[in-house]
Amino acid sequence: MDENRKRALMIVNPTAGKQAVRGQMFAIIETLCAHGYQPTVLTTAARWDCTAYVQGMAQDYDVVICCGGDGTLNEAITGMLTSGREECQPIGYIPCGTTNDMANNLGLPKTIKKAAEAVVEGEPKYHDIGRFGDIAFFSYIASFGAFTKVSYSTPQSAKNILGHFAYVLNGAAELGNIKSYHVKLTYEGGVIEDDFIYVSVTNTRSFAGLLSFPKDEVSLHDGLFEVLLIKTPKNVVEVSNILGNLSKGIFNDDKNMILIKTPKIRVETEENITWTIDGEQSPEISDVEIEVIPDRIRIFRPQKK
């Protein structure tokens, strides 16, 4: 092997999204090789395969490239952070999932080939990661309540046919079955305790097409989470106002919504809660500390033109 070529560990989830990556493998490999990379390609067959590959093999490569959805990226990041190595290889992300929230946040191209080009022509930049107790890590969101079942409860057949719109339909239907939770949140700015239908701790500009923060108000590398809380509405008018303001990205002018920024937060609930972490379910838990991990993970982003 040419010693001047960069070694790339490429991990592919062949079942992600509409399985589009299956027909694009040659184009991806050709792009990597043309830009001086020597790729080793592995495919996943089960959850956490990507994490295991990264834990055991990433130290022998210059870059790790994951082809899949946001869950595949989460597994790659988890592998880096649990490997015990002080230096983490930069991660290239070629999104092949259904909604690809992280790809949107990173400004990655929509097509697989263009996304591959963005990796080899881009630059790795630091990205804040969330530590969810001692249970998991997340790259963009940990949440529970209304909307959060959308990622994993939408049928795969609907995702494949309708794509992004399937999430929106499922999210709207879920709001019709609102459940309230009594929550105590302790953070650097104080304590908030109330009844909420939704709690999210995020490092993202958008989520599943349902939540969108103003781009100039959110940095993916500022050491802070955006924490959005939605109080339990008392009537149909308040429900309507919440939906309208969410769609417009208006959070501070609605009495039922609270938006705070913090590097660390403790969330306590009266009952065990199943959180959604980067689109996947967590074990049930009633007390968790969530904190930012800055300057540990680098992800390739397109060069600004």
176-to-12, 137, 147, 258 alpha-carbon distances in Å: 37, 30, 11, 21
Range in 28-37, 96-105, 223-232 the model is least confident about: 96-105
d(CA 213, CA 250): 8
Domain CATH number, residue 81: 3.40.50.10330
**Cα distance from N-terminal residue to C-terminal residue, the chain:** 33
Shared domain check, 171 and 117: no
Mean pLDDT of the chain: 85
Kindly tell me if the per-residue pLDDT of 27 is higher than 80: yes
Is position 214 within any domain? Answer: yes
Is position 127 within any domain? Answer: no
Share of the chain above pLDDT 70, in %: 86
pLDDT for position 89:
95
Shared domain check, 14 and 110: yes
Kindly tell me if the per-residue pLDDT of 124 is higher than 90: yes
pLDDT for position 166:
44
Shared domain check, 225 and 158: yes
How confident is the model over 245-262, as pLDDT tens digits? 777 777 877 888 999 999
Of the residues 61, 95, 121, which one is the last residue of a structural domain?
Answer: 121
Cα radius of gyration (the chain)? 19
- Host domain of residue 76: 6-121
Kindly tell me if the per-residue pLDDT of 287 is higher than 80: yes
Of the residues 89, 121, 153, which one is the last residue of a structural domain?
Answer: 121
* CA dihedral (232, 285, 280, 103) positive or negative: positive
pLDDT for position 76:
97
SS (H, E, C) 29-78: HHHHHHCCEEEEEEECCCCCHHHHHHHHHHHHCCEEEEEECHHHHHHHHH
pLDDT for position 164:
42
Work out the average pLDDT over 108-126. Answer: 93
pLDDT for position 162:
40
Beta bridge partner(s), residue 200: 143, 228
Shared domain check, 278 and 163: yes
Number of domains in the chain: 2
Strand locations in the chain, DSSP E? 6-12, 37-43, 63-68, 91-95, 123-132, 136-138, 141-145, 181-187, 190-202, 206-207, 211-212, 225-231, 257-262, 264-277, 280-301
Shared domain check, 192 and 50: no
pLDDT for position 209:
59
* CA dihedral (292, 293, 295, 296) positive or negative: negative
Domain CATH number, residue 207: 2.60.200.40
Is position 189 within any domain? Answer: yes
Is position 75 within any domain? Answer: yes
pLDDT for position 66:
95
Residue 35 vs residue 87, higher pLDDT: 35
Shared domain check, 281 and 186: yes
d(CA 219, CA 204): 8
Shared domain check, 157 and 60: no
Shared domain check, 167 and 43: no
Shared domain check, 167 and 288: yes
Of the residues 67, 87, 121, which one is the last residue of a structural domain?
Answer: 121
Is position 271 within any domain? Answer: yes
Is position 249 within any domain? Answer: yes
Shared domain check, 154 and 64: no
Shared domain check, 146 and 94: no
d(CA 197, CA 256): 10
Is position 301 within any domain? Answer: no
How confident is the model over 161-211, as pLDDT tens digits? 444 444 444 555 555 567 889 999 999 989 999 999 889 999 988 776 567
pLDDT for position 19:
73
Shared domain check, 48 and 158: no
Is position 299 within any domain? Answer: no
Long-range contacts, 147-150 (Cβ 8 Å, 24+): 147/171, 147/174, 147/175, 147/198, 147/207, 147/208, 147/210, 147/211, 148/198, 148/200, 148/275, 148/276, 149/174, 149/276, 150/174, 150/208, 150/210
d(CA 14, CA 1): 27
Kindly tell me if the per-residue pLDDT of 123 is higher than 80: yes
